[in-house]
Amino acid sequence: MRYLASLVILLASAGWCGAAYIYEHKGLVEYRNSDKDEWQRVPSSGRFAITAGMHLRTARASMAEIHMDDGSRVKVAPLSNFTLSAEDKQKSVFGLSAGKMRSWVKKFSRRFEVRTPSAVCAVRGTDYTTTADGDGNTTVEVSEGSVLVGDAAGRTALVREGEMTRVEMGGGVQQPVVNPDPPSGNDASMSGARELARREIYTEISKDAVVAQAQAEMQSAEYQNRKTAVDAFGRRVRMEEYTIRPQDDQFKYVVLNTRGERFDFGKILFTFNTALPSDLSAVTANMITSAGSTAPSVWLTEMNSVMSNTIDKVTEDASGGAMQYNGSITNPAYNLVFGTYKFYAAGPDEANDNGGLGKWLWTRTGYNVALNTNSGITYLGGSAPTGDPQSSPSGADVFHTYLKNTYSDGTWIAAEDFVLFDDGKKLSSGDFGGGLAGGETVDQITDRLNFERVYTSSLFDGRTIDLMYSAKLLKDIGMIRFE
């Protein structure tokens, strides 16, 4: 059970019915559902779902970025006219009648095609640009990977990285040649994929937005878990949890809680130094500490998290992660150390402070997650907070703690933590021995355990953030293990 403590340190602190949506746009972007409908302007804020058969167009000095639930995305240039012809678990098909779009297609994703009046471009795992001119001719430029380009007569050419080709309206695919003027590498997205993922973690907290995105993401989730349990206060909680990989070097963990009309959620985005292996547990099992004198090749560099009741939120922002050798001869290990680790809280009045993170409360530097130590810490108001020291309200042998901090300007925040069985019973130090004696394995007991954290604060106007998440899903992805 020693990894349970490390897990709590890292995690416990912490709609769109279709699977394609306009994530961000600039200028005038319009849509209509059929040729008979009038053009309407895409709303200026929030994500806008697009479904199969919908037509869209961009005006001069306007552009749109479209995301799919598998992590693929498309950037549409000004003066473009296109249709989302199909979007489901098997394929994504865009019809580009005029203009230009750049596509970033995730490796091992569904089939992805861009169709123009003269060409069909089919790919998996690549970055390429398609342009359809006013005469129906098509130009394809490949920045990464390869694209199979074909015309209406079935003639094809494989266009590789750094090459381009042209397909005339009358037919015929030109032999691919080296692209003398490739698209700019800075054109990767409007804001950068990593920044988009980070922004989503911190700024999208409405129930409709969170639930709708979860519905889309669950279609391609790597791990999922659904269960109903009883919380520390006797209320039934429906939990939905899943993990997804927004980018090759990231994975995101999401948990949704529903108690009658109450809704709470948590999201954590983990970013690593390199692309993750297919087996996620190979990384997560050693994410906090890696035993031995050999440094791991993959490590956590950033962690962004939010917990919210859709009105209030607590956010954490960690960066500069690296694995640091402990120097021990008898028990050598590499421990995760963040250069900076910042903590924020917000009610509605503070929601947009610090770029959407909320009101800053403290920063730890050189934070060794495994040892829970740091080289320096600064606080709101300049002095350490006062308040109740950590206590064990249910007794020293029960996994139930309470801690409250009050800062020099009067702001206070309290965290109450529980480890519970599915029936709401608090875990005590004797439960594992008793359970094992009764014939259950440690693994079976763990599958019935849940964590619960409750935040209260002077910023929340009497409201609470109350989130439960299961030990089972965290065990499945390798973040809890037994030795």
> Quick one: how many helices (H) and strands (E) in the chain?
8, 32
Q: What is the mean pLDDT of residues 157-178?
A: 89
Q: What is the mean pLDDT of residues 382-408?
A: 91
Q: What is the mean pLDDT of residues 184-209?
A: 66
- Do 151 and 229 belong to one domain? no
- Do 309 and 414 belong to one domain? yes
DSSP secondary structure string, 101-141? EEEEE-TT-SEEEEE-SS-EEEESSEEEEEEE-TTS-EEEE
- Do 143 and 209 belong to one domain? no
- Selected residue with higher pLDDT from 264 and 182: 264
Q: Can you give the pLDDT at residue 9?
A: 45
Phi and psi at residue 460, in whole multiples of 5°?
-95, 0
Q: Give the count of beta carbons closer than 10 Å to the beta carbon of residue 412.
A: 19
- Do 246 and 166 belong to one domain? no
Q: Can you give the pLDDT at residue 378?
A: 94
Distances (CA, A) of 454 to 12, 53, 200, 261, 468: 10, 45, 23, 17, 9
Q: Spell out the residues 6+ positions from residue 37 whose beta carbon is closer than 8 angstroms to its own.
A: none
Name the pTM for this structure: 0.65
5 part of a folded domain: no
Q: Can you give the pLDDT at residue 11?
A: 47
Pairing of strands 126-132, 91-105: antiparallel
483 part of a folded domain: no
Q: Shortest CA distance to 288 belongs to which of 480, 449, 90, 153?
A: 480
In the predicted structure, residue 380 carries a pLDDT above the cut 80: yes
For residue 95, what pLDDT band results from cuts at 50, 70 and 90? very high
- Do 162 and 281 belong to one domain? no
Q: Give the tokens for residue 280.
A: 């996620």
- Do 177 and 258 belong to one domain? no
481 part of a folded domain: no
Highest mean pLDDT pick, 4-13, 33-42, 209-218, 375-384: 375-384
- Do 236 and 133 belong to one domain? no
Residue 186 DSSP one-character state: G
Highest mean pLDDT pick, 44-58, 88-102, 209-223, 308-322: 308-322
Residue 120, domain CATH: 2.60.120.1440
Tokens 């869209």 found at = 56
Which helix (H) or strand (E) segment is 6 a member of? Answer: helix 2-7
14 part of a folded domain: no
7 part of a folded domain: no
- Euclidean distance between CA atoms 421 and 186, whole angstroms: 50
Average of per-residue pLDDT values in the chain: 85
Q: What is the mean pLDDT of residues 17-23?
A: 69
Question: Where does a domain end: 187, 213, 243?
Answer: 187
Q: Spell out the residues 6+ positions from residue 27 whose beta carbon is closer than 8 angstroms to its own.
A: 58, 59, 60, 61, 62, 63, 78
- Do 182 and 201 belong to one domain? no
137 part of a folded domain: yes
Task: Give tens-digit pLDDT for 277-304.
Answer: 888 888 888 888 888 999 899 999 999 9
For residue 2, what pLDDT band results from cuts at 50, 70 and 90? very low
Highest mean pLDDT pick, 58-72, 378-392, 413-427: 413-427
Q: Can you give the pLDDT at residue 13?
A: 42
12 part of a folded domain: no
Task: Give tens-digit pLDDT for 225-282.
Answer: 999 999 999 999 999 999 988 888 899 999 999 999 999 999 999 999 998 988 888 8
482 part of a folded domain: no
For residue 8, what pLDDT band results from cuts at 50, 70 and 90? very low
- Do 77 and 122 belong to one domain? yes
In the predicted structure, residue 1 carries a pLDDT above the cut 50: no
- Do 223 and 340 belong to one domain? yes
Q: Shortest CA distance to 401 belongs to which of 230, 228, 229, 232?
A: 232
Q: What is the mean pLDDT of residues 314-320?
A: 94
Q: Can you give the pLDDT at residue 5?
A: 40
Question: Where does a domain end: 121, 156, 187?
Answer: 187
Task: Supply the range of the domain harboring residue 122.
Answer: 20-187
For residue 19, what pLDDT band results from cuts at 50, 70 and 90? low
Tokens 């050598």 found at = 332
Q: What is the mean pLDDT of residues 375-385?
A: 93
Cβ density class 443-477: b for 16+ within 10 Å, e for less: eebbbbbbbbbbbbbbbbeeebbbbbbbbbbbbbb
176 and 194 in contact (C-beta within 8 Å)?
no
For residue 479, what pLDDT band results from cuts at 50, 70 and 90? confident
Q: How many domains are there within the chain? A: 2
In the predicted structure, residue 194 carries a pLDDT above the cut 80: no
43 and 29 in contact (C-beta within 8 Å)?
no
193 and 247 in contact (C-beta within 8 Å)?
yes
- Do 276 and 313 belong to one domain? yes
Task: Give tens-digit pLDDT for 418-445.
Answer: 999 999 999 988 776 655 556 677 777 7
Beta strand segments in 59-212, E: 63-68, 73-76, 81-87, 91-105, 111-115, 120-123, 126-132, 138-144, 146-150, 156-160, 163-167, 177-178
Q: What is the mean pLDDT of residues 302-331?
A: 93
Question: Where does a domain end: 139, 165, 187?
Answer: 187
Q: Shortest CA distance to 10 belongs to which of 239, 256, 268?
A: 268
- Do 112 and 175 belong to one domain? yes
Q: Give the count of beta carbons closer than 10 Å to the beta carbon of residue 278.
A: 7
Report percent pLDDT > 90 for the chain.
Answer: 44
